[in-house]
């Protein structure tokens, strides 16, 4: 493989159902060794896209290339897919699951390595049905890695996990990346995408509406920063500042500014208390809202 050849390339990909264009002509490429995030609101077409890339459903038209060639048996041997928990066998322990799935592939990562990477030491003899959400996701990740894949597909792997379990899972993804594996991730969590992904593509209505590195996209779309302060501290005299109320989320006011000093001076002059004030850069969540007009809540 030429060093420049992306590990995966999607060209003019469509998936049309009788009543909907689930995926409507998308193009992107995934360089080797990065974490690539596919983002979008509910129904955007992420799962349909990822399932075509995994070879689970057939595109209506377009093509997907693996290492520059149409997907074939080589791809099947070199891909790892994190299954949903329904793929687990009743009554088997974590160790038994890893042994069971390892035997299905000619090429393996050793069970000891899987245990180490996915931090499963403490649960090896536990019945898989008795694992917490975070522990189950770690075991499913280990199963996705049994064939020592070059590319790993993770479809919303942290949905429903508590913040600590999500943080633990991010650490595992970083361990996988450190082994030069490519990760294809879908997520509803913008912070997750920002922390893990070198590149993202944002989908809506079956199309890609933005793609690039998170920081590059933020720089392209925003030149301002946000000043946040409690709505109760926002004086009437400052209403001319460009602001928006977040009443539905928190009783806060967000003020967009390119000149923080000038805006702070204006707020003080209008009699605002700055005690509860925060200044933050624009986030991927802001970008997502701006591009799709929708909040991201799993
Ligand atoms: N087999 C199918 N038959 C008909 N319509 C489908 C089928 N699969 C998906 N769709 C529709 O295609 C659109 C895209 O669905 P998809 O599951 O890919 O979205 P998504 O971005 O993964 O959403 P979510 O974040 O909710 O998982 C949706 O409107 C969905 O209802």
Q: How far is the CA of 9 from the centre of ligand 1 (A)?
A: 21
43 CB near ligand 1 (under 6 Å): yes
DSSP three-state, residue 172: helix
Q: How far is the CA of 46 from the centre of ligand 1 (A)?
A: 8
- pLDDT score of 226 more than 90: yes
The C-alpha atoms of residue 12 and residue 244 are separated, in whole angstroms, by: 39
DSSP three-state, residue 260: helix
**What is the largest distance, in Å, between two alpha-carbon atoms of the chain?**
72
Q: How far is the CA of 57 from the centre of ligand 1 (A)?
A: 12
pLDDT: is 297 or 160 the higher one? 160
Q: What is the pLDDT of residues 271-292, one digit of tens each?
A: 988 898 999 999 999 999 888 8
What's the rounded mean pLDDT across residues 138-164?
92
Quick one: what percent of the chain has pLDDT higher than 70? 95
pLDDT score, position 294: 57
For residue 142, the surrounding DSSP H or E stretch is helix 133-144
- pLDDT score of 296 more than 50: no
Angle at alpha carbon of residue 121, lines to 120 and 126, rounded to 5°: 75
pLDDT band at 236 (very low <50, low <70, confident <90, very high): confident
The C-alpha atoms of residue 63 and residue 250 are separated, in whole angstroms, by: 45
Contacts of 297 (CB under 8 A, 6+ apart): 188
**CB-based burial label for 48 (10 Å; 0-12, 13-18, 19+):** buried
44 CB near ligand 1 (under 6 Å): yes
Residue from 13, 18, 38, 43 to probe ligand 1 pocket by mutation (most atoms less than 8 Å from CB): 43
pLDDT score, position 241: 84
Contacts of 79 (CB under 8 A, 6+ apart): 54, 55, 149, 150, 151, 152, 153
Mean pLDDT of the chain: 89
- Which ligand 1 atom sits nearest the alpha carbon of residue 57? 1
* Fold type of domain 8-219: Rossmann fold (3.40.50)
**Tokens standing for 164?**
């600590």
pLDDT score, position 243: 79
20 CB near ligand 1 (under 6 Å): yes
The residue extents of the domains of the chain are 8-219, 223-281
22 CB near ligand 1 (under 6 Å): yes
The C-alpha atoms of residue 59 and residue 50 are separated, in whole angstroms, by: 11
pLDDT band at 247 (very low <50, low <70, confident <90, very high): low
15 CB near ligand 1 (under 6 Å): no
pLDDT band at 81 (very low <50, low <70, confident <90, very high): very high
Compute φ and ψ for 5, nearest 5 degrees. Answer: -70, 125
What's the rounded mean pLDDT across residues 91-102?
90
Closest CA to 130 of 159, 94, 99, 163: 94
Which residue's structure tokens are 């409507």?
24
The C-alpha atoms of residue 41 and residue 39 are separated, in whole angstroms, by: 7
Q: How far is the CA of 94 from the centre of ligand 1 (A)?
A: 32
Q: How far is the CA of 256 from the centre of ligand 1 (A)?
A: 35
Residue closest via CA to ligand 1's atom 28 equals: 43
The answer to whether ipTM exceeds 0.95 is yes
**Tokens standing for 291?**
């591009």
Q: How far apart are the first and last CA of the chain?
A: 38
The C-alpha atoms of residue 212 and residue 291 are separated, in whole angstroms, by: 14
Q: What pTM, to 2 d.p., does this model score?
A: 0.89
- pLDDT score of 255 more than 80: yes
Q: Residue 16's beta-bridge partner residues?
A: 21
Q: What is the pLDDT of residues 105-117, one digit of tens each?
A: 888 899 999 999 9
- Which ligand 1 atom sits nearest the alpha carbon of residue 188? 25
**CB-based burial label for 46 (10 Å; 0-12, 13-18, 19+):** buried
Residue closest via CA to ligand 1's atom 24 equals: 42
Residue closest via CA to ligand 1's atom 2 equals: 17
**Tokens standing for 221?**
């779309």
**Tokens standing for 114?**
């899987």
Rounded (10°) angle between helices 94-102 and 133-144: 20
Q: What is the pLDDT of residues 13-60, one digit of tens each?
A: 999 999 999 999 999 999 999 999 999 988 999 999 999 999 889 999
- Which ligand 1 atom sits nearest the alpha carbon of residue 17? 4
Contact 53, 235 (CB under 8 A): no
Contact 85, 140 (CB under 8 A): yes
């Amino acid at each position: 493989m030429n060093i420049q050849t992306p590990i995966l390339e999607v060209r003019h990909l469509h998936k049309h159902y009788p009543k909907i264009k689930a995926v409507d002509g998308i193009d992107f490429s995934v360089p080797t060794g990065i974490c690539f995030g596919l983002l979008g609101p509910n129904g955007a077409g992420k799962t349909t896209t990822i399932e075509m890339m995994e070879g689970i459903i057939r595109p209506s038209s377009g093509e997907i290339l693996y290492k520059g060639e149409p997907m074939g048996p080589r791809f099947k041997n070199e891909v790892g897919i994190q299954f949903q928990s329904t793929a687990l066998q009743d009554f088997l322990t974590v160790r038994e699951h890893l042994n069971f799935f390892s035997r299905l592939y000619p090429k393996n990562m050793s069970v000891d390595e899987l245990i180490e990477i996915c931090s499963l030491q403490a649960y090896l003899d536990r019945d898989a049905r008795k694992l917490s959400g975070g522990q189950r996701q770690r075991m499913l990740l280990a199963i996705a890695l049994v064939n020592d894949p070059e590319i790993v597909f993770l479809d919303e792997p942290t949905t429903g996990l508590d913040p600590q379990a999500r943080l633990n899972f991010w650490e595992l993804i970083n361990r996988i990346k450190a082994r030069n594996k490519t990760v294809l991730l879908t997520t509803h969590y913008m912070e997750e995408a920002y922390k893990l992904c070198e590149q993202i593509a944002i989908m809506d209505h079956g199309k890609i509406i933005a793609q690039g590195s998170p920081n590059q996209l933020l720089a392209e779309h925003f030149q301002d920063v946000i000043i946040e302060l409690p709505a109760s501290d926002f004086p009437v005299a400052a209403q001319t500042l460009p602001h928006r109320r977040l009443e539905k989320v928190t009783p806060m006011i967000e003020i967009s500014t390119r000149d923080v000093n000038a805006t702070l001076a204006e707020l003080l002059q209008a009699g605002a208390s700055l005690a509860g004030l925060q200044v933050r850069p624009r986030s991927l969540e802001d970008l997502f809202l701006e591009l799709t007009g929708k909040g991201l809540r799993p």
